[in-house]
Amino acid sequence: MCGIVAALTASGNVVPDVISGLKTLEYRGYDSAGISVMTDSGLQVRRKMGKIANLEAELLSNGLPNSVQAVAHTRWATHGVPADRNAHPHTDDTGEVVLVHNGIIENYAELRTWLRGHGHHFQSETDTEVFVNLIAYHLRKLGDLHAAVRAALEQAHGAYGIVCMAATHPGILVVARMDSPLVVGVSENGTYAASDMPALLHLTRDFVILENGESAVLTASGCQLYDAKGSAIERPTQRCDWTPEQAEKGGYPHFMLKEIEEQPDVLARTAFDRFHDSNGDVDFEPEFGLDDAELRYFSRLRFMAMGTSLHSAILGQQMLAKLARLPGETLNASEFLYSPELEEGDALTVIISQSGETADSLRAMREVQRRGGRVLGICNVMGSTLAREADHLILTHCGPEVGVASTKAFFGQLTALYLLAIRIGRARRVLAPSQGRELLNDLRALRPKLDVLFGKESREAVRVAADYLAGVKSCLFLGRGMNFPIALEGALKLKEISYIHAEGYPAGEMKHGPIALIDENFPVIAIATPGRTYDKMISNMEEVRARKGKVIAVAVNGDSKLAAQADFVLPVPEVPELLSPLVNIIPLQQLSYEVALRLGCDIDQPRNLAKSVTVE
């Protein structure tokens, strides 16, 4: 989806800085890009449909002057087709005010009619062009850019993250946000704004995060923040622990591959500093904000999320039931609004989101809060909306996830949920300290075991299975118990990056319908590692093979009984059943990656998908 980068310094040229920031946001998916700079003779704008490389070519052929002040944007079309004329930045009809905008102005059509009545002309179909003309209208009346932006925002309804500059106000950028992320970065070299922190990590790691309704005036030496009523406010900067290298490919051909391979480190980053070995317990940071007494108060849990995070949620429910003996339910966040309004009472809602900006999940969070309930957010992005608005928070510390298909963030979520289950289990005294210690040790012991999955033998097994799977049109992923959500996640990974149709099912459901699909061209991917579900999974695999279906099995290394029932085996190390999802998902991620590679798909930016889905 759309990305914003802007920069302001006292001297030098910020154009290369904003272009490289824009490139960091390429993963979000976009169809055009543009930049505007302030010059002594006014504003200049360059916009190009397609990749940022097209914009760079345009800058070379149609030179852009050096400037201390620039705003840039990658656009993902909402109003108006992808085209140069619809790309951002947009200017008002005199070319004096320029705007980049993420989000949607819902009443843009009425505003356009109103502005036409006041003599404004439009060249694009975008809501943003209406918005910038509205700012220009107010600027002419009020003479102050911040006041003009605020006046325009009062007339506009919808979601926005904006950066605005005006030829009449050199040395100033005005930014504002409502339901669309916007951060301000500060350093001794300048002041910056972006829709996402990774876009500015090459310039600063100190950020001021805007809340809904707030605006700010940026100068080269800092920023003045204003609340929704327009009163000046102060807020300390927050330091981001992500590094610029984490947001780069680091020699890998794709972010997705890099992120799959980072998972052993994610385990360490998400978990190990939180171990409280002497008590067999977990120490979350202060933002968790729930002590033992409060944790004992809750008698049921509700998990909500979307997509991959929803699969974590299902597993979280299972882990919490097992280790903390707390009953729970899992809901697709987009459906919660339609659920009957029952008493929240002593329920705790856990909302899981990598980005912390998923509109459906945020809406569900606010609805729980409106109904009087409390929300614990599990999130990867410090300062995101979920991180700021949830009543309680666990950050997953995975580092920035750039590949659109979520991998390491899923792994970090499962790790955090396992820790949460121990924490609540200990608080409720259903886990003794010795049991807590054992569970922590199991997690610690997992790290070296994960290395096997990145060894030669495992990689080769994945490649052989991928050679076969790349030739099929459709397939089924089966798992039971804790590996049913892994079947769902394996199927989602395959379909989103290779476009092969795949469905995940509880294996027990196969005979109730999907078995009709099985023939020699319809394979099944079965997750059949040791545990309570092992024998039943073997029976299901036999049933598939009896109908000539091919079986790709995720199985423990050296399990010959299972290998006899499979055409391909993806070997995994043996681990406690509760941790098997963290291991079993990895070869399935690798399999999807290898299949998509064979099919020549755009792995990091699959068609039609966006990294964070900020509309419902």
Binding-site residue total for ligand F6R (CB under 6 A)? 15
Listed residue (194, 31, 105, 104) closest to 615, CA to CA: 104
Residue of 309, 483, 529, 533 interacting with ligand F6R (CB under 6 A): 309
CB nearer ligand F6R, residue 387 or residue 492: 492
Map the footprint of ligand F6R across residues 341-360, applying CB under 6 A: 353-355, 358
Q: Which of 86, 308, 580, 605 binds ligand F6R (CB under 6 A)?
A: 308
Interface with ligand F6R includes 385 (CB under 6 A)?
Answer: no
Q: The tokens of 249 are what?
A: 């490919």
Contact with ligand F6R (CB under 6 A) among 21, 307, 425, 549: 307
Least separation in angstroms between CB 307 and ligand F6R: 2
Detail the DSSP E strand segments found in 461-507: 474-479, 501-506
- 541 and 551 Cβ atoms separated by less than 8 Å: yes
Among 96, 214, 496, 559, binds ligand F6R (CB under 6 A): 496
DSSP track, 367-378 = HHHHTT-EEEEE
Which positions from 404 through 463 interact with ligand F6R, judged by CB under 6 A?
405-406
48 is catalytic: no
Euclidean distance between CA atoms 554 and 550, whole angstroms: 13
Q: Which is nearer to ligand F6R, 367 or 496 (CB)?
A: 496
CB of 353 to ligand F6R, least distance (A): 3
Stretch that binds ligand F6R, among 69-77, 204-212, 306-314, 582-590 (CB under 6 A): 306-314
Nearer to ligand F6R, 86 or 385 (CB): 385
Return the residue of 191, 246, 361, 483 that touches ligand F6R, per CB under 6 A: 361
Measured from the CB atom, the residue of 563 and 615 that comes closer to ligand F6R is: 615
Residue 379 beta carbon to ligand F6R: minimum distance, rounded to whole angstroms = 8
Catalytic hit among 2, 223, 240, 601: 2
Q: Is 2 designated active site?
A: yes
Question: Residue written as tokens 């052993």?
Answer: 264
**Residue 323 or 597 with smaller CB distance to ligand F6R:** 597
Q: By CB under 6 A, is residue 585 in contact with ligand F6R?
A: no
Report the C-alpha gap between 189 and 586 in whole angstroms. Answer: 42
Backbone angles phi, psi at 153, to 5 degrees: -65, -30
Strands, sheet with 568-572, edge to edge from the N-terminal-most edge strand? 501-506, 474-479, 524-527, 551-556, 568-572
Rounded to whole angstroms, the Cα distance separating 511 from 544 reads 10
- For ligand F6R, the closer CB: 89 or 490: 490
Report the alpha-carbon distance of residue 256 to residue 409 in Å, rounded: 11
396 binds ligand F6R (CB under 6 A): no
Q: Round to whole Å and give the CA distance between 529 and 382.
A: 35
3-state secondary structure 168-190: CCCCCEEEEEEECCCEEEEECCE
Question: What per-residue string of b and e applies to 127-144 under the rule 16 or more CB within 10 Å gives b?
Answer: bbbbbbbbbbbbbeeeeb
Return the half-sphere exposure (C-beta side, CA atoms, 13 A cut-off) of residue 290.
Answer: 23
Residues 49, 73: Cα–Cα separation, whole Å: 12
Given the residues 23, 495, 550, 611, select the one marked as catalytic.
611
| CB nearer to ligand F6R: pick between 200 and 306 | 306
By CB under 6 A, is residue 389 in contact with ligand F6R?
A: no
Q: Is residue 575 a contact point for ligand F6R (CB under 6 A)?
A: no
Residues marked as catalytic: 2, 611
Q: Which residues are at the interface with ligand F6R (CB under 6 A)?
A: 306-309, 353-355, 358, 361, 405-406, 492, 496, 612-613
